[in-house]
Amino acid sequence: MASPTPQTQRNALAPGLLAAIALFLSPLFTGDDNVGATIIFYLVPILALIVAWFAWQARQWWWTIVFVAIAVIWNPVFPFGFTGQVWTAAQFVAALLFIAAGVLIKNERAVA
């Protein structure tokens, strides 16, 4: 018997929370020689693309645009080299976007 309301799942929640944690911790890892900063510069764009993919699957394309932009800004291949308080604020805003997307991106659960 089918349930009266469709069950949903939040596929973007785990990668969103992981990226938010990384972004909240990123001010601790400053400098180009720091291994932690390098890991964050690889982790954030990868998780942004994963969240963008889950947003696309959930047919919430507006989140896809946001997270592709985050992946470009935090890319490790051609880094922009942002620094200072504006960059720290951008990391905080991006972390909040990851959390919001993780909570709001929902997909109907496939019933087998």
- Helix, strand or coil for residue 109? coil
CB 45 within 8 A of CB 70: yes
Neighbouring-strand partners of residue 108: 8
The model's pTM is 0.85
Element (H, E) at 92: helix 84-104
pLDDT digits (tens, 9 = 90+) for 2-42: 556 668 888 899 999 999 999 999 888 776 667 888 888 89
- The ranges assigned to domains in the chain are 10-108
Please tell me the distance from the alpha carbon of residue 60 to that of residue 97, in angstroms, as a whole number. 14
